[in-house]
A and B are shown apart, each in its own frame.
Chain A
Amino acid sequence: AQTVTQSQPEMSVQEAETVTLSCTYDTSESDYYLFWYKQPPSRQMILVIRQEAYKQQNATENRFSVNFQKAAKSFSLKISDSQLGDAAMYFCAYRSENYGQNFVFGPGTRLSVLP
């Protein structure tokens, strides 16, 4: 079974600085998708960024980018020019291309942004 690990339960960053959140996963499959979701205090789950495993180019969405290392099974999220509104729980998630509909989520990283 696939597993997703986020080794940083909590992180903090100064406003306007850059922070990187780590995610590793375990799978024997070659085709899959990876995601980062943001959960602010409102509890709403918001998709931040998505990466297809077959794509070598790292996904980017405005201030958010990923470093996808397929061989190392690593999928880190970089937030540039951090803003107060970025403070939230961040979840890394994995979904197989070949099996079912189960998204496997990591335990999350709580990000604080310091003014």
Chain B
Amino acid sequence: NAGVTQTPKFRVLKTGQSMTLLCAQDMNHEYMYWYRQDPGMGLRLIHYSVGEGTTAKGEVPDGYNVSRLKKQNFLLGLESAAPSQTSVYFCASSRTGNSPFFGSGTQLSVL
């Protein structure tokens, strides 16, 4: 079982560039999440989705957009990357909204 797969695993961007992070899950989970992890701050929720075609803002949504066109995929977009968005990004999914399964993370550096 692949579980939750994130692509890419590493990326370096220049300020102002755009990119999309892809999250795919093969567990037929309804709920999907995007978190960012910064040193000393744990994980903070960026956006989440409670089902296909739905999205909602989390704790730190500014500068990010998301889409959930298919149940198994949850995309995170950065339209104009900033150095403050340098972080490790985690995608997660869950069936009931509890005990999410996490992907292995994407290390993003914005120069």
Q: Which residues of A does B touch, CB under 8 Å?
A: 4, 9, 33, 35, 42-47, 50, 91, 93, 95, 100-103, 105-108
Contact = CB atoms under 8 A, between A and B. Distances in A.
Contacts of A100: 48, 56
B90 to A, nearest CB: 7
11 contacts: A33-B98, A42-B104, A44-B105, A45-B43, A45-B102, A95-B97, A101-B45, A101-B56, A102-B59, A105-B44, A108-B42
B100 interface: yes
A107 B48 contact: no
A91 B88 CA distance: 15
B interface, how many residues as a size bin? 20 to 34
A42 B102 CA distance: 12
B50 interface: yes
B77 interface: no
B99 interface: yes
B42 A102 contact: no
Given A45-B90, A100-B48, 16 more contacts: A33-B98, A42-B104, A44-B102, A44-B104, A45-B102, A47-B99, A91-B42, A101-B45, A101-B56, A102-B45, A102-B48, A103-B43, A103-B100, A105-B43, A106-B42, A108-B42
Interface string B54-73: 00101100000000000000
A101 B88 contact: no
B2 to A, nearest CB: 13
Interface in B7-61: 31, 33, 40-45, 48, 50, 56, 58-59
A101 B74 CA distance: 15
A101 B104 contact: no
Contact of A101 (B33, B41, B44, B105): B33
A101 to B, nearest CB: 5
A46 B100 CA distance: 9
A105 B90 CA distance: 13
A43 B42 contact: no
Nearest to A106: B42
